[in-house]
Structure 1
Amino acid sequence: MTDKLLRNFDDILDAVKNKSPKRVAVAAAQDDAVLEAVQGAHKQKLADFTLVGDIDKIKATADKLGVTLNDVQMIHEPDDRKAAYRAVALVSSGEADVLMKGLINTADFLRAVLDKEIGLRTGRVLSHIAVYQLPGFDRLIMITDGGMNIAPTLQQKADIIQNSVQLANVLGIKPAKIAILAAVEVVNPDMPATLEAAALAKMAERGQIKGAIVDGPLALDNAISMEAAQHKGINSPVAGMADILVTPDIEAGNMLGKSLVYIANGKIAGLILGAAKPVVVTSRADTYEAKIMSIALGALLG
């Protein structure tokens, strides 16, 4: 955890470089995009790596890409599912600090994460959080959950919020200001998202969600624009200043997040939270920089 408020991706990179290096265990590491990111992160001294997978394929892929894997530890396990369990075991035993997905089906990868014996269960739901550096903003904005939970229940949303607070605190955001998004900023019995937003705000007020100021329902403009909030006469400690945006469902989170990248030219990094240690799962569509920043986020939290 840092006492300094990290406002952009350069701040995150500097904070990681100033820490003792964390070790990232990569499951089924014979993936071209992952190996390029591993080399880049290792060169920038963001983390050390243990690659678990088919060593012959890892080396062949690295040679094809011109990737140098000197000083990178490798463990031979040609079976992808077994590689996932080996990588998870490294993290759960303390031999590694962060888990990363390679060339393996996400369901098989998460099955290992949630294994009752060697997995990384905490009792909380797993959730995805995306961190954005956006033009025109002097702070990082986070969105959850656009990648894991399809239609989270009220209790799952409480877990999702608690997961996000953990990352916010590591970024120096204390307390985190969390907006529960809906289409409107008033409670409407015909709109379930507004009812859940009001319940979550009350849960935080009564200490059922800790370390954050939670308010909702808030429409997107009221959550991030002080001018919009003042224009609508909204009196809230979160309105216009939200650090974390909690979306009603996966569709809203996914579309909002992608619009920030592809329309607003935002930069993204992401993690899966709720496990005992951070989990890096990057998309094939993510840029090289997004993969590097996701590793950096994991190393900061690990």
Structure 2
Amino acid sequence: MSSFLSDAVADAPALLIRQAQDAPTPRVAIARAGAPLPMLAAMEATQANMMVPLFTGERDMIQAEADKLGWDISPYEIINTTGEIEAGNAAAMACGEGRADVLMKGQLHTDVFMRAAVSRDAGLRTGKRFVHIFHITTPDGSGSITISDAAVNVHPNIDTRKDATREVVDLLHKIGNPRPKVAFLSATESPIEAVPSSTEGRELRDWAIENIRDADFSGPLAFDLIMSPKAVQDKKLTGDPVAGQADAIIVPDIVSGNALFKSFVYLSGGCAGGIVMGAKVPILLTSRADPAAARLSSIALGAIVAAG
């Protein structure tokens, strides 16, 4: 094992869990729920009063997994379907029709799940772009960082990153940060024509300052200047309102976002809750590699956002 890897085991952030428990309990449609990880997450979140499940998928598989957990699911609706596509469509339709408040990925491929979510038949489109946000907390829960977009948009254009910035600020407001500090990532703090993310970072910063209230913005910023107060002092950026103390990072592409998210998780032991914003309901795009704490964190985010 690489010496850079952390063996810290993060818990789901207690403040986020409590906030979700204080919110109205959402109905969560789980697309193809009949597998160990989604059923365990559903049971734990239901028992923690963070959700009421609506299961889609093969009824016998769902029941078998519940039986393994000793969980009585007779009070909850099961929509019996066959295969990934039917399960994804049924869960997305339940949300579009107002029978569920949050859409959650179970045991199906991400492309199938997202195709169901963006289908016009599902009724989840709002005219906004769908953007993914990771809210990552430190193992002891003392700090956090938010990243968009690390999972959905491969090469987000300026308009998509503007939507991502709005959604990140809105999410951070909802979870209790009254004035988040948002950085636009590049490889330099100066706009350089040869580095498109740097000139775009400056454009996005200027736009955000003019158009989004109750937040501070800076860009372009290299990663050291986003995270390290010492780097900020060494490079004489101490007057910057975000440098060295960012709450959120807007990335220029999925590669940098994905690498950052996994670095925080695998190198520092962070707990990453993920949510897709911009649809009629929050969408939880969980992964087969997600530990239980990350799944609970994602469900908590969904409950908070669904509460408005």
TM-score, normalised by the number of residues in structure 2: 0.89
The alignment status of 1:161 with 2:165, answered yes or no, reads yes
For residues 209-233 of structure 1, the C-alpha deviation after alignment (integer angstroms, 9 at most, x for no partner) is 5553221011112112333223311
Aligned in 2, Cα 1:31/1:285: closer, same or farther, shift over 3 Å? Answer: same
Match of 2:184 in 1: 180
* Paired residue secondary structure (1:217): strand
**Secondary structure at 2:23 match in 1:** coil
Instruction: Return the offset for 1:128.
Output: 1.4
Match of 2:116 in 1: 112
- Displacement of 1:196 in angstroms is 0.6
User: Are 2:62 and 1:58 equivalent residues in the alignment?
Assistant: yes
Unaligned segments of structure 2, at least 5 residues: 1-11
Instruction: Name the counterpart of 1:14.
Output: 18
Q: 1:136 to 1:237 in 2, by over 3 A?
A: farther
The one-letter amino acid paired with 2:222 is: A
Deviation for aligned residue 1:11: 0.5
Give the one of 266, 272, 276 matched to 2:276: 272
2:97, 2:123 within 8 Å by CA — same for their partners in 1? no
| Alignment correspondent of 1:213 | 216
Give the aligned partner of residue 281 of structure 1: 285
| Secondary structure class of the residue paired with 2:272 | strand
Asked whether the equivalents of residues 35 and 67 of structure 1 are also in contact (C-alpha less than 8 Å), the reply is: no
1:196 to 200, 221, 224: 200
**Do 2:20 and 2:303's aligned partners in 1 also have CA atoms closer than 8 Å?**
yes
- Deviation of residue 70 (structure 1)? 4.4
Secondary structure at 2:268 match in 1:
coil
Contact (CA 8 Å) 2:13, 2:141: kept in 1 or not? no
Deviates more, 1:26-35 or 1:79-88: 79-88
Q: How many angstroms apart in 2 are the aligned matches of 1:110 and 1:202?
A: 32
Runs ≥4 residues deviating over 3 A: 64-68, 135-139, 209-212
- Amino acid of the residue matched to residue 11 of structure 1? L
| CA pair 200-79 structure 1, distance change in 2 beyond 3 A | same
Q: Secondary structure at the match of 1:34?
A: helix
CA distance in 2, matches of 1:112, 1:285: 22
Residues 44-99 of structure 1: CA distance to partner in whole angstroms, max 9, x if unpaired?
11111110121112112333454442433212222432322221222122221100
Aligned residues: 294
Identity %: 34
Q: Which amino acid aligns with 1:218?
A: L
AA aligned opposite 2:299: I
The equivalent of 2:226 in structure 1 is: 223
What are the within-5 Å matches in structure 2 for residues 4-43 of structure 1? 9-43=13-47
CA contact (8 A) 1:36 1:67 kept: no
CA RMSD after TM alignment: 1.9
Q: Find the residue that maps to 2:190 and give its secondary structure.
A: coil
Residue by residue over 1:153-189, the C-alpha shift from the partner in whole angstroms, topping out at 9 and shown as x without a partner, is 1111111212212211111122321100111111111
Stretches of structure 1 lacking an aligned partner (at least 5 in a row): 1-7
Distance 1:16 1:243 in 2: 20
